Amino acid sequence: MGKRIKTKIIDYGYDGEGVGKTDGKIYFVNGAMVGEEVEVECYQENSKFGRARLVNIINQSNLRQSAPCPYYGECGGCCYQHTSYQNELAIKKILFSRQLKKLGYQKESRVIPSPIQYHYRNKIKLFIKGGHMGLKKRKSNDLIEIQQCLICKEQINEAIPKINLFIKQNSECFSHVIISYIGDRGNIVLYKTCSKTIDYQNLISSLAEKFNICEVYKSQTSIVYKKAVRKETLAIKYHIHANSFHQVNERVMLELYNKVLDLLTGKNILNCYSGGGLLSGLLCQNGKFVTAIELGQKEHKEAEQLKALNDFKFMKNIQGDCGKILDQLDDNFDTIIVDPPRAGMDDLMVKNLKNKDFKRLIYISCDSATLIRDIQRLKLKIGDVYMFDMFPRTGEYECLVILDK
């Protein structure tokens, strides 16, 4: 058992955890709120700071509420269920503003909330260990077995107990499973770790009505059951490949894409890190000429299929690394959109962007720290800044920054 101390919470850390100061040392306490006096147990400590578990609230904030999820606190996913959504947004805004100040940006960011705070996620990754399937505990590799996840769509929650049952009978053969549900059909992707042939009949009987099922073994994907269903968003037709990238909160995704449309300058658009092509399609639908660059094979194929299905003549999909491709493109673009993964842009991409002639850069990111780092390297003028709450109840959010030459 770690050392127990009493501390008063004076601030929030980057993941929304309470920050207390006692005897000159900073303590990060998950689930503690500013203004509260709490008793905590340290589980990690050095000479400057410590991480501690909330044991007892001596003086409770009036913004505190009880969390609806039975796994909350132990599970590493959500971190704001103990307070109102309004307060969560206020905290996220403060944290983002603090990051923006590093760029000398003093204005307020515009916040776009999620219309729903639970049952919005269309994808979950569950880990399998010792016969259990679940999520990772906070700051740990241990699992917490779950039967549902309140931020996931209902269809995913209906599937979890059925997959759990199947995993209990075959647990030694799988490392993790990814369940997704977009439109009116989902995908279950099971990652196998042994060569044994698995009998999927029970899983097919209980889940095939709503889900395609496939297994991945040594990077090879085999279809267990598939019914091809075409999806349609904003009158754009497309197919989804098992496990390709898609924004997890479709309602906030539409807000984000419509904002991008509003913010475009000119007709020639370069969409970097373009994913399955839905945003590119929306831009084409609105009369733009779009060149899209995407590294992932599955995502590139999806974008090509989307282009063909919708007859988008002014959509050009290129498969490859953005930094390398950008160097080979001679075209002049009015607006460049970048939406890299959490790690942000690499040196080559930053260098080639700096050498490119364009009027406006729209930078979308799900990690404000790498966004700030990249903007510092790009040395462009910052315009408006937006925060899209793509991931309610968790510490994450999506940001959009306009950068003009």
Ligand X SMILES: C[S@@+](CC[C@H](N)C(=O)[O-])C[C@H]1O[C@@H](n2cnc3c(N)ncnc32)[C@H](O)[C@@H]1O
In the chain the first and final C-alpha atoms are separated, in Å, by: 56
CB of 247 to ligand X, least distance (A): 5
Identity of the residue, 241 or 246, whose beta carbon is nearer to ligand X in the bound complex: 246
Identity of the residue, 17 or 339, whose beta carbon is nearer to ligand X in the bound complex: 339
Identity of the residue, 173 or 326, whose beta carbon is nearer to ligand X in the bound complex: 326
CB of 285 to ligand X, least distance (A): 15
CB of 366 to ligand X, least distance (A): 6
Phi, psi of 263 (to 5 degrees): -90, -5
Cα–Cα distances (Å) from 14 to 94, 114, 288, 367, 369, in that order, read 10, 20, 38, 11, 10
Most distant CA pair in the chain: distance in Å? Answer: 66
CB of 73 to ligand X, least distance (A): 29
Instruction: List residues near ligand X by CB under 6 A.
Output: 245-247, 273-276, 279, 293-296, 299, 321-322, 339-341
Distance CA 381, CA 394 (A): 30
The answer to whether the CB of 251 falls within 8 A of the CB of 115 is yes
Cα–Cα distances (Å) from 108 to 15, 116, 258, 264, 383, in that order, read 20, 23, 21, 21, 11
CB of 272 to ligand X, least distance (A): 7
Identity of the residue, 98 or 354, whose beta carbon is nearer to ligand X in the bound complex: 354
Look at residues 221, 164, 165, 156 and name the one whose alpha carbon lies nearest to residue 191.
221
The answer to whether the CB of 184 falls within 8 A of the CB of 229 is yes
Residues ≥6 apart with Cβ < 8 Å to 106: none
Distance CA 170, CA 150 (A): 26
Angle, in degrees to the nearest 10, between helices 368-378 and 85-101: 30
Identity of the residue, 182 or 207, whose beta carbon is nearer to ligand X in the bound complex: 182
Residue in the shown chain whose Cβ atom is closest to ligand X: 275
Distance CA 300, CA 281 (A): 13
CB of 345 to ligand X, least distance (A): 8
CB of 401 to ligand X, least distance (A): 15
CB of 283 to ligand X, least distance (A): 11
DSSP state of 181: E
Identity of the residue, 200 or 388, whose beta carbon is nearer to ligand X in the bound complex: 388
The answer to whether the CB of 253 falls within 8 A of the CB of 390 is yes
Cα–Cα distances (Å) from 353 to 263, 268, 360, in that order, read 19, 16, 11
Identity of the residue, 41 or 327, whose beta carbon is nearer to ligand X in the bound complex: 327
Identity of the residue, 155 or 271, whose beta carbon is nearer to ligand X in the bound complex: 271
